Structure 1
Amino acid sequence: MNLELFIANRIRTGGISGKRLAQPVVKVSIAGIIIGMVVMLISIATGMGFQKEIREKIIGFGSHIQVVSYDFNLSYETNPINRDSLLEKQLSEVPGILHIQRFATKPGILKTNNQMQGMILRGVGPEFDWSFFRTIIKEGDTLTLSDDKTSSGILISDDVAKMLQLKVGDKAPMYFFEDQIRARNFRVAGIFDSNLPDLDKTFILCDIRQVQRLNNWSYNQIAGYELLAQDFENIMETGAMVADVVAGYISPDGAMLRTRTIQQTQPQIFGWLDLLDMNIAVIIGLIVLVAGFNMITGLLILILERTNMIGILKAMGLADWPLRKVFLTLASHIALKGLFWGNLAGLTFCMLQKQFGIIKLNPENYFLETVPIHLTWTSILLLNAGAILAIFLMMLGPSYLAAKISPVKAIRFE
């Protein structure tokens, strides 16, 4: 049997005579690592979960990438572009693009007898991907659209419905101000709640034909295309490939196109989400330091307790490196055991929270109803590898101190 491993196991179990502090110190050190690992896992899971949930809500209202007219118009009164089946085919063939859909917008005022609210009418076509809105529908249903018939149904948010006292099935008149006031009577087909007030109080979803008529556009004229990408992490690369496709496009009337990603259209929100990465890094750094110092303290106590043993082993001819390996082996056992139980406890909590939503949140403050959880195997493995490396590096100092103890002084040590 390996001598260093044998001595380390005897120290850990208290099998070597002495002051019997080994077992309590080992247990405290393991407990510290378990708590630290649980906190780090929960920090990463909730941070990534919050980013993912908010990101999906923003993308649900605006897609990953938009292709629009190449102009300097930043308002919702957009200049139209013409539909082009060849361009749509080229965009669908871009690697990473999953879905293409048309959109058009028109600002107006939604008014009832006692209240009014400025809104953006967002027209969508039959090909629109309703998967996000189906998850946030509270009453009614999504719109049923076709190319043959114009729908008068609209989707409004729960905030707007309460403000204007509207219910599913109610008529909702909307007014548009141009050279003359134009009015349209819509019917509330569904009520959604994304818990994002800025978006909920801004957008109404309707049939794209309604917006085309209000803008005096033909059926083939739209504000642009919305592209849903496969992976948000590669959105910049995918956006660049889409930009390459549209860069050489010129319509028969001479119009040119440009692209914009969701990060460019919503820079404030994504800048805010990026700050979460820094917060997570700070929390993990602090936890690793606390757990590391806890390990250092524990190992120093063990070295102090076994000073006589160290002196006897050195007097018997044990070299410095094998002696250091004894305490590094002991530290590795403590770290691995703590990481195992810490991962088990942390992942169990994360799975329970993701499945049952045990811990609730106030949507008015956090934009979510429960604490979100999202973890990947890559993040778990990197976290564990980083923790092991940090703890090992911190253990080098105390083990070096054990090797420098004088045999004569150590044997006489009380």
Structure 2
Amino acid sequence: MNYEIFIAKRIVAAKKYKSSISSPIIKIAIIAIALGIIIMMIAIATGIGLQQKIREKLSGFNGHIQITNFDNNNSEITLVPVSKNQDFYPEFKTVSNIKNVQVFATKAGIIRTETDFEGIILKGVANDYDWTFFQEYLVEGKLPNYSSEVSNDVLISKEIADRMALKLGDEFNILFVKNDPSKAPWIRVVKIVGIYNSGFQEFDGSFVIGDIRHIQKMNRWNDDQVGGFEVLITDFNEIIPKSNEVYMQTGSTLNSESVVEKYPSIFEWISLFDNNIYLIIVIMILVAGINMITALLVLILERTQMIGILKALGSSNVSIRKVFLYNAAYLILKGLFWGNLIGLSILFIQKYFGVITLNPETYYVSEAPIYLNFGYIILLNIGTLILCLLMLIIPTIIISKISPVKSIKFE
């Protein structure tokens, strides 16, 4: 066995080591390492988790990329139809990693009940719609099916249902104003077959999902005319290059816009989370490193006699420094063990029980989302261990200054 490791193990196992003057300082250093890794894990898991959830919800309501007519319409309502007879529909063959292309149309309406009314946006979709997003946030009922004849089934949010005192299975009227205000509005009687709750109040408070054929009929569009296309991609990290590719592959009368371009302020805000994560990691590693440096210095000064004896027996400064670095590595690994155990427990509790809640008006989610990936956890542990050990190389220089003659004392 390597004798430096052997001596380091004997130091750790010694009873005197556990009751020495340095013992409380060592415990504080271990706690600092554990707290550091806990805070870093929580910062990364919640920061990335919040970014992903917000991106997921924005994409769920709008698709990753929207293709519409090239006009100056900046509202959520589609006014000028687009023909379905496009080279990229129903399959985008000229651009890779496209998950789905689906048609949509939107129209402003008013929900009217016997006691109240509420302005909404009816989003019409067809049988090519990918329901994965709404399946995750469905709280009651089922998803509508628009594959056969025109359907009056709609999917509404829990927020609208609560405000309008509606429940699963209820029928209600939606009024749509005609282009000529002097004429009576269109009235559609729809039935609630499903209720969703995404926690994104900006959309939950306004969107009702229904059959696109109702909008086509009210707008006097043909069956092959829609409000636009939503393009879903397989990897959100490629959204900018994919958006550019889609734009180049569409006709001159069409415009494509990614969800990042449509909601720039939200994406700029969530991009700031990365800076927060980096800052927390740097601060925590510095705090942990400084505590370990203090503990190691106390440990070295406490064992000057042992260092003198080892030097007298022929040990080099490098070998003795290795002894204390191995000792420090043991303390760091102990702190990392407890930190990972406690940190992962906290993250799993939050992931599956949602103990910590957030204000959805501010954060667009009702509870703190957790992103768990053992890849970043392993890298975080390895990085913390290596950086702390590199920081500890400097204080071990003091070992070379210790004289065997002055340090060895005989009783």
Quote how far apart the aligned CAs of 1:201 are.
1.6
Q: Aligned residues, how many? A: 406
Contact 1:82 1:221 in 2 (8 A): yes
Provide the residue aligned with 1:128 in structure 2. Answer: 129
Range with bigger deviation, 230-239 or 399-408: 399-408
How far apart are the structure 2 equivalents of 1:18 and 1:380?
Answer: 30
Provide the residue aligned with 1:265 in structure 2. Answer: 262
Matched, 1:347 2:344: yes
How far apart are the structure 1 equivalents of 2:347 and 2:71?
Answer: 47
Percent sequence identity over aligned pairs: 41
Residue by residue over 1:299-352, the C-alpha shift from the partner in whole angstroms, topping out at 9 and shown as x without a partner, is 111011012222333344432222221211211222223223322332243234
Of 223, 226, 247, which residue of structure 2 is paired with 1:222? 226
Matched, 1:188 2:191: yes
Residue by residue over 1:218-241, the C-alpha shift from the partner in whole angstroms, topping out at 9 and shown as x without a partner, is 111112111111111222222233
> What are the residue-to-residue correspondences of 1:234-249 with 2, within 5 Å?
234-246=238-250, 249=251
Provide the residue aligned with 1:141 in structure 2. Answer: 142
Contact 1:108 1:118 in 2 (8 A): yes
Contact 1:111 1:175 in 2 (8 A): no
Quote how far apart the aligned CAs of 1:92 are.
4.8
Contact 2:90 2:101 in 1 (8 A): no
Provide the residue aligned with 1:35 in structure 2. Answer: 35
Quote how far apart the aligned CAs of 1:105 are.
1.2
Structure 2, unmatched stretches of 5+, are none
Provide the residue aligned with 1:91 in structure 2. Answer: 92
Residue by residue over 1:159-212, the C-alpha shift from the partner in whole angstroms, topping out at 9 and shown as x without a partner, is 222323333322123232522353222313233222221111222211111111
- AA at the equivalent of 2:350: Q
Matched, 1:59 2:92: no
Provide the residue aligned with 2:213 in structure 1. Answer: 209
Provide the residue aligned with 2:236 in structure 1. Answer: 232
How far apart are the structure 1 equivalents of 2:391 and 2:43?
Answer: 23
Contact 1:106 1:122 in 2 (8 A): yes
Quote how far apart the aligned CAs of 1:358 are.
4.6
Residue by residue over 1:336-382, the C-alpha shift from the partner in whole angstroms, topping out at 9 and shown as x without a partner, is 23223322332243234323445455656654444322122332232
- AA at the equivalent of 2:145: T
Range with bigger deviation, 71-80 or 221-230: 71-80
> What are the residue-to-residue correspondences of 1:2-401 with 2, within 5 Å?
2-14=2-14, 20-21=20-21, 25-75=25-75, 76-84=77-85, 86-88=87-89, 91-92=92-93, 94-146=95-147, 148-168=148-168, 169-180=170-181, 181=183, 182-189=185-192, 190-246=194-250, 249=251, 256-361=253-358, 363=360, 366-401=363-398
- TM normalised by structure 2 equals 0.89
Contact 1:48 1:375 in 2 (8 A): no
- TM normalised by structure 1 equals 0.88
Range with bigger deviation, 155-164 or 13-22: 13-22
Quote how far apart the aligned CAs of 1:17 are.
8.7
Quote how far apart the aligned CAs of 1:123 are.
0.8
Quote how far apart the aligned CAs of 1:18 are.
11
Contact 1:92 1:100 in 2 (8 A): no
Aligned partner of residue 232 in structure 2, secondary structure: strand
Aligned partner of residue 298 in structure 1, secondary structure: helix
How far apart are the structure 2 equivalents of 1:230 and 1:18?
Answer: 55
- AA at the equivalent of 2:199: N
Aligned partner of residue 87 in structure 1, secondary structure: coil
How far apart are the structure 1 equivalents of 2:54 and 2:241?
Answer: 21
How far apart are the structure 1 equivalents of 2:68 and 2:30?
Answer: 57
Contact 2:138 2:195 in 1 (8 A): yes
Range with bigger deviation, 89-98 or 363-372: 363-372
Provide the residue aligned with 1:253 in structure 2. Answer: none
Aligned partner of residue 226 in structure 1, secondary structure: strand
How far apart are the structure 1 equivalents of 2:401 and 2:98?
Answer: 62
